[in-house]
């Protein structure tokens, strides 16, 4: 049974590494377009809210992935209350600042 758990963990790591390598290569070769990913609209500067939301989301997924590898025999553990509060607060801050940010003036063609 111990060998099965070992190979399951190894398979999980290999599959996740392959997916990560494929996505990373796609970004580097520009098959996956990420231009404007962190900007609110094309041509605008990087939005700090989007950077914060992206980093916290990637961090939360990384934490869950690492906890899955550490607790395979017990199953997936529930994230700590602190992590949930941090993630929820981050997403709330993103949504509030997105809502409060002044909207760009509409163009004359939109006023018809």
Q: Residues 18-29: what's their mean pLDDT?
A: 91
- Unique residue bearing structure tokens 């963990």: 9
Three-point CA angle 107, 109, 112, nearest 5°: 115
Q: Residues 78-100: what's their mean pLDDT?
A: 81
pLDDT of 107 above 50: no
| SS3 at position 62 | helix
Q: Burial level of 109, CB count in 10 A (0-12/13-18/19+)?
A: exposed
At 106, the pLDDT band (50, 70, 90 cuts) reads: very low
Name the most confidently modeled range: 10-24, 49-63, 67-81. Answer: 10-24
How many other CB atoms are found less than 10 A from the CB of residue 10?
Answer: 10
């Amino acid at each position: 049974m111990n060998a099965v758990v070992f190979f399951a963990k190894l398979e999980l790591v290999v599959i996740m590494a392959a997916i990560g390598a494929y996505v990373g290569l796609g970004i580097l070769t520009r098959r996956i377009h990420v231009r404007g990913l962190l900007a609110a609209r094309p041509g605008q500067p990087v939005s700090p809210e989007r950077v914060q939301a992206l980093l916290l989301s990637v961090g939360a997924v990384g934490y869950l992935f690492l906890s899955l590898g550490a607790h395979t025999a017990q199953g997936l553990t529930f994230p700590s209350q602190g992590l949930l509060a941090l993630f929820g607060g981050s997403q709330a801050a993103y949504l509030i600042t997105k809502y409060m940010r002044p909207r760009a003036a509409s163009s004359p063609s939109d006023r018809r």
